[in-house]
Chain A
Amino acid sequence: MVALPSETGIPPKVHYLNADYGIRSWLLTTDHKRIGILYLISITFFFAIGGLMAVLIRMELATPEGDLFQSDTYNRLFTMHGIMMIFFFLIPSIPAVLGNFLIPIMVGARDLAFPRLNLFSWYLFNIAGLFTIWALVHGGVDTGWTFYTPYSTRYSNTHVIATALGIFIAGFSSILTGLNFVVTIHRMRAPGLGWFRLPLFVWSLYATSLIFILGTPVLAITLLLLAAERVFGIGIFDPSLGGDPLLFQHLFWFYSHPAVYIMVLPAMGVVSEIVPAFARKKIFGYRFIAYASVALAVLGFLVWAHHMFVAGMSIYAATVFSALSMLVAVPSAVKVFNWTATLYQGSISWDTPMLYALGFIGLFTMGGLTGVMLATLGIDVHVHDTYFIIAHFHYIMVGGAIMGYLGGLHYWWPKITGKLYPRFWSRISAMVIFIGFNVTFFPQFILGYLGMPRRYHAYPPEFQVLNVMSSAGATILGVGYLIPLIYFIWSMRYGRHASSNPWGVVGLEWETTSPPPTENFETPPVVTRGPYEYSRSEEVADGR
């Protein structure tokens, strides 16, 4: 009989959490695991701010009249919601929290290649957040998270500079994170750990890091030029000097489109870990999923102008970008099909991480397919700047990235904290989030298709039913997010101790203790097999 590994266990005497005490030991730590937790705290805070903005937006939109906020206030609300969620939550979420914690362990290293740089990037991230929050409390920004010129350079009298500076600094933080990951994955793999023995989570974060490295600097120079134009009158985008505002959009989207892949690629990596773990099966098409991650990182850079189809760009270039955009569907579909094939004939257990992963697959597919619709020139012109777009990218960013993030957090929480969370409540929360999400955002597809434009605080009364549905769904979604927050905090104090491998799965991170020691492994690991060898792991559990 197969002896299942037990969920609970006795914690090791000394691990990274109790190796040292006091606030200094956290604020000056160079341990990638502790820095991951520092990031977790920071991004949870920023998520709460962005979430608050979302609550206020949905409150305003519960009625057709603009009765709760002035239109000016509403502009600042959706701008800040976007900036907080994108730059301060989604982009750092999985890479900086789970990636930081897991990459060195998954490659069998003692730490990231540049531990002090890692800590520095956390400080930069928080300084960036402070700039943005400063701008927020002093009246906010009303340009939309896209900062389009010439409105942002000439006309907006809100805190564009402080916010742009905040995002600029946050960009540095993500560049340093990406750089650290790339060097670690290239140079610090354990003996025997070839590229095709790496977990797919590492592959996806490698691809993400490429985007961090190659895309973020372009956003940085763009925001710098924006600031130079506002402050010094160096008018690179100024139409009165023959400047082209569309150039700003090209530069902005060169980063900001791939940024979507920064959000969703790591979530795909998480799902690629969870699906084989809870189907107890070797992942189907390992190499295809690995290559698809890299392909998405590259293709992500070839499609940016599909955000500009109605902005006045050349119709011929638009055709090229439209065709290239559809190519993105190929590696995305490769992944979805491979996960589905992995599920086929697997012995599936419905644990919480798996619920999130399955939610991801469904919602990402919805978001991806509507993405193909939007890549089509004619449809894009029809639904441009409507709620159809809003629904589409929330399916990718919330339904995809956040589901992946929460799934990963639930999967690795016993490893990170050494504690188990309540199984019942975690399953409930996964389902509440799934339902709340769909009730919030599915009506927005219809609204957009019927022609409701984005970024207005008032709308014609015939749209009210669907908007009330959406606001009601947002309430459910909000409750769904609060439940994990409560039981995660609860588990840190009252949760039972997790064994080193509570799910009974394979992977280097499950071979060390929960929580791991400061240098990750008692003895440096030597890797002798691929990452998802489930048939053999049962032999191991069986005592062979």
Chain B
Amino acid sequence: MAADARAVVAHHFDSPDQQREAASLGMWVFLVTEVMFFGGLFLAYVVYRGSFPHAFAAASRELDIVLGTTNTALLLASSLTMALAVRAAQLGRRLPLVVFLALTMALGSVFLGIKMYEYHHKFVEGLFPGAAFRFSGPEAPHAEMFFCLYFAMTGLHALHMVIGLGVLAVMLVLGARGRFGPLYHNPVECAGLYWHFVDIVWIFLFPLLYLVGRHA
């Protein structure tokens, strides 16, 4: 093993390749646990939407489709910048790495800002589940179930975004200090995998929550 490789490989690994493949496999396995974690919520969604299709359609129309679509586009764009950040780390290009990470964080923050605005709006309209819930359409309790799921799913997704932003901030600092290069960029790669996963969750949440009853 070359001296520069030895410097970045932990004592219990034999080579940078083994270390990188272990890190990437570990991250993928973690993402599988995340799939199952959100899976419980998706099951609840499937069961209740199957039971109360009309209430779900009516409740879904209360969501702002313009904001939802904008947020989808923002998150997709942040995935692009994230992929480019990983590429920069692989090639050991420090400035592009920092710039793309910062862009990713900026896009993610705007997403969260819009999400907060939407939440605020729902609170004001009395669409948060609980004693203060007000819904003018039919089947109010079932519509409330839709909003239970809406807040649980998007809230959990937003929490993942916040954690992701924290991870990216750490990567930004380490990247700016020049810690990553062709031999060692597993942390950026894993952070990227996580960020893309959060993007994928939203790719499914968007049609399930925002697009249900639009044609009626």
Contacts and interface: CB of A to CB of B under 8 A. Distances in A.
Contacts of B11: 110-111, 519
Interface in B135-150: 141-142, 144-145, 148-149
Contact of B144 (A110, A115, A218, A241): A241
B30 interface: yes
Interface in A191-243: 213-218, 220-222, 224-225, 228, 232-236, 238, 240-243
A188 interface: yes
Given A115-B12, A221-B38, A182 B145 contact: no
Contact of B37 (A180, A221, A235, A236): A221
Nearest to B35: A217
A10 interface: no
A232 B130 contact: yes
A214 B32 contact: yes
Nearest to A176: B30
Nearest to B130: A233
A225 B151 contact: no
A428 to B, nearest CB: 41
Interface in B75-132: 129-131
A518 to B, nearest CB: 10
A214 B29 CA distance: 9
A4 interface: no
B129 A251 contact: no
Contacts of A238: 148
A240 B149 contact: no
A113 B22 contact: yes
A188 B22 contact: yes
Interface in B35-54: 35-41, 43-44, 47-48, 51-52
Interface string B1-35: 00000000011110000100110011001101111
Contacts of A375: none
Given A110-B12, A242-B52, A217 B33 contact: yes
A233 B32 contact: no
Nearest to A180: B26
A28 interface: no
Given A234-B129, A242-B52, A251 B33 contact: no
A17 to B, nearest CB: 19
Contacts of A241: 129, 141-142, 144-145, 148
Nearest to A243: B145
Contacts of A232: 129-130
Given A114-B26, A179-B30, A240-B141, A221 B148 contact: no
Given A175-B33, A241-B145, A242-B51, A111 B40 contact: no
A234 B152 contact: yes
A242 B48 contact: yes
- A186, A241, A247: residue with the most chain B Cβ atoms closer than 10 Å: A241
Interface string B148-161: 11011000100000
Interface residues of A, number: 43
Contacts of A242: 48, 51-52, 141-142, 145
A511 to B, nearest CB: 19
A536 interface: no
Contacts of A111: 11-12
A244 interface: yes
Contacts of A218: 36-37, 39-40
A110 to B, nearest CB: 4
A109 interface: yes
B41 A244 contact: no
A187 interface: yes
Contacts of A315: none
Contacts of A244: 47
Nearest to A175: B33
A183 interface: yes
Contact of A225 (B21, B39, B152): B152
Contacts of A220: 37
Nearest to A234: B148
Contacts of B29: 179, 182-183, 213
Contacts of B39: 217-218, 221
Given A114-B26, A179-B30, A235 B148 contact: yes
Interface string A96-130: 00000000000001111111000000000000000
A101 B92 CA distance: 38
B149 A236 contact: yes
11 contacts: A110-B11, A179-B30, A213-B32, A225-B152, A228-B152, A233-B130, A236-B44, A236-B148, A236-B152, A241-B129, A241-B145
Interface of B: 10-13, 18, 21-22, 25-26, 29-30, 32-41, 43-44, 47-48, 51-52, 129-131, 141-142, 144-145, 148-149, 151-152, 156
4 A-B pairs with least C-beta separation:
A221-B40, A233-B130, A217-B37, A111-B12
